[in-house]
Amino acid sequence: MEPISVIAIFDIGKTNKKLLLFDEQYNLIWETATQFEEIEDEDGFPCENIEALCKWVHISIVQLLEEKRFLIKAFNFSAYGASFVYLDNEGKLIPPLYNYLKPYPTELSKKFYLDYGGEQKISKETASPVLGNLNSGMQLYRIKHLFPGKYQHIESSLHLPQFLSFLLTGNKYSDFTSIGCHTQLWNFSKKGYHDWVSEEGIDLKLAPMKPTDSVCGYFNQWIPVGIGIHDSSSALIPYLISFKEPFILLSTGTWCISLNPFNHQVLTTAELKQDCLCYISFKGNPVKASRLFAGYEHEQAVKKLAAQFNKPLDYYATVSYDAMLLKSKAEETYESAYHQLIATIIQQQVISTNLVLAGTYVGKIFVDGGFSKNPVYMQLLADNFQGLEIYAASIPQASALGAALAIHHHWNEKNIPTDIIDLKYYASKITI
């Protein structure tokens, strides 16, 4: 039997590390996952075990190439992008891979914004709120000023997706989706690095830029390797390829992120204060986004409801939409209390999504992730956006699929299928 032609995608999250194979029709045909215990940096703060990750990638590739069922025609990477990996002049790793959740030194932050015009100015020009180490450019600034000896040994700084590509090719590049993702490195109006980057000499530590849909190099001299892509931008790719008319993608999980690739207005100070930011799409265009911590809020609230009504923790998954339960504010049953909880979350979600909806002619909202499978959430969302078409979208492993699609023309001679996204339409049930 002839082997199946596939693309192999490493999808690296903070918790789960996955290897997935997609065939030429972009069906997910094989996957495996692993987790690593975090280690500690020099301050005792938890961080990624980058050495273990590298070892797993190499072992996985060896095992994959020995598997006779598959013909590997390309590799690419999707990963969280808010952390830099540092290399010396011999291409050797300089650990650790710092955790973007690590608190940023207060005095150093004050110095930076005092020197470069203030938080409001930098945030507006770089389309990112002030987020400490989550602004990955600030990680390099911290090392330069607090660990100058270590800084001198850094020859290249690669975001995690591009470092993984380097592992296979030995070639070092930066890409727009990582550089433009709340790093405070990129000036969106100038479409180049911010002035502070060159004034600090940090641009000398960054690899040259290469388009996200390009090949970084070749593994075993013939297998093309993509440059890697930031996971949030990657998850948007299947939608950008499948739909040409303006839409919003509401990606739901711990954070519920509203992404509008068709809103090109400059972020206002008010929007930045409400946690809006810009991503960059795989085509290099700005994507205005707003964030809401709704998944976490839901997770905490259902724990309380389960205890209060003596129900299993996942009982909420059995609750169907019932309009009558919304008319009464009494929370006498689990079902009525849960409807009120979702109604409260939707009120916040409408405010958040409207931040990126304003001023654009968007006709559809696609919801993916956990809440897309929640009939109460989806119906209330449809009721609150009556002028728009609301769809629950289902894509297996969206960020990994996006990374596969990004380099389609480098490995796949077939046309991209038109049915890679399953949609379920929700109509408003409010009668005017």
Q: pLDDT (tens digit, 9 = 90+) per residue, 347-369?
A: 999 999 999 998 889 999 999 88
Same domain, 289 and 216: no
Q: Both 189 and 266 in a single domain?
A: no
Residues 188 and 269 in one domain: no
> Is there a cis peptide before residue 96, judged by omega within 30 degrees of 0?
yes
Quote the pLDDT of residue 258. Answer: 94
Same domain, 391 and 364: yes
81 within a domain of the structure (yes/no): yes
pLDDT in tens, 323-338: 999 887 778 899 999 9
Alpha-carbon distances of 432 from 302, 325, 347, 365, 428, rounded to whole Å: 32, 20, 20, 21, 10
The separation between CA 234 and the C-alpha centre of its own chain, rounded to angstroms, equals 7
Pull the structure tokens for residue 216.
């970084």
Report phi then psi at 164, rounded to 5: -65, -35
What residues contact residue 22 under an 8 Å CB cut-off, 6+ apart?
A: 6, 7, 9, 28, 29, 400, 401, 404
Q: What is the pLDDT of residue 44?
A: 96
Mean pLDDT of the chain: 93
pLDDT, average across residues 79-104: 93
- What number is the average pLDDT over the span 6-19? 93
- Number of independent structural domains in the chain: 2
Same domain, 393 and 300: yes
Q: For position 189, what pLDDT does the model report?
A: 87
For residue 84, tell me if it sits in a domain. yes
Domain that holds residue 338: 232-426
Residue 432 counted as domain residue: no
pLDDT at site 252: 87
Query: How confident is the model over 119-127, as a mean pLDDT?
Result: 94
Tokens of 305: 């409801």
Where do we find the tokens 């190099």?
Answer: 217
- My answer on whether 43 and 158 are in the same domain is yes
- Is 431's pLDDT higher than 70? no
Residues 194 and 263 in one domain: no
The answer on pLDDT for 432 being more than 60 is no
Contact (Cβ atoms closer than 8 angstroms) between residue 36 and residue 12: no
Note the pLDDT of residue 382.
97
Give the end of a domain, one of 212, 227, 242.
227
State how far the Cα of 400 lies from the Cα of 235, in Å rounded to an integer: 7
* Shared-domain flag, residues 213 and 246: no
What is the arithmetic mean of pLDDT over 281-286?
Answer: 86
The beta-strand segments (E) located in 314-388 are 364-369
**Residue whose token pair is 């996952």:** 33
* Element holding 380 (H helix, E strand): helix 375-384
Residue 329 lies inside a defined structural domain of this protein: yes
User: Does 204 map to a domain?
Assistant: yes
Q: Which letter, b or e, does each residue of 353-387 get, where b requires 16 or more Cβ atoms within 10 Å of its Cβ?
A: bebbbeebebebbbbbbbbbebbbbbbbbbbbbee
* Residue 350 within a domain: yes
Q: Are strands 93-94 and 84-87 parallel, antiparallel or unpaired?
A: antiparallel
Task: Give percent above pLDDT 90 in the chain.
Answer: 78
What's phi and psi for 188, nearest 5 deg?
A: -70, -35
Within this chain, do residues 192 and 260 fall inside the same structural domain, yes or no?
no
Structure tokens at 6: 């596939």
Q: Do 311 and 305 contact (CB within 8 A), yes or no?
A: yes
CA dihedral 189, 236, 346, 306 (to 10 degrees): -130
* CB 38, CB 47: distance < 8 Å: yes
Please say which residue of 227, 247, 279 terminates a domain.
Answer: 227
Is 16 inside any structural domain? yes
* pLDDT at 33 exceeding the cut of 70: yes
- Determine the Cα–Cα distance for residues 173 and 367; give it in Å rounded to an integer: 33
Give pLDDT, residue 275.
83
Answer whether 397's CB lies under 8 Å from 78's CB.
Answer: no
The length of the chain is 432
Give the ranges where 134-189 is alpha helix by DSSP (H): 136-146, 148-153, 160-169, 176-179
Residues 255 and 289 in one domain: yes
Q: Clarify whether residues 141 and 176 are in a common domain.
A: yes
The conformation of residue 268, written as its DSSP 8-state character, comes to P
Q: At 278, which CATH number?
A: 3.30.420.40
Of the residues 202, 227, 252, the one at which a domain ends: 227
**What pLDDT score was predicted for residue 181?**
86
Continuous segment of H or E residues that includes residue 81: none
For residue 184, being part of any structural domain is answered with: yes
Residue 224 sits at φ, ψ, to 5 deg, of: -65, 140
One domain, residues 334 and 214: no
Which tens digits make up the pLDDT trace of 231-256?
888 989 999 999 989 999 998 888 89
Check pLDDT > 80 for residue 147.
yes
Mean pLDDT of 312-318: 95
Which one, of 429, 297, 274, 308, lies nearest residue 371 by Cα? Answer: 297
Do residues 391 and 422 make contact, with C-beta atoms less than 8 angstroms apart?
Answer: no
Confidence of residue 316 (pLDDT cuts 50, 70, 90): very high
Residue 283 confidence (pLDDT) above 90: no
Is there a contact between 163 and 80 (Cβ–Cβ < 8 Å)?
no
What pLDDT sits at residue 272?
87
Residue owning tokens 């987020």: 131
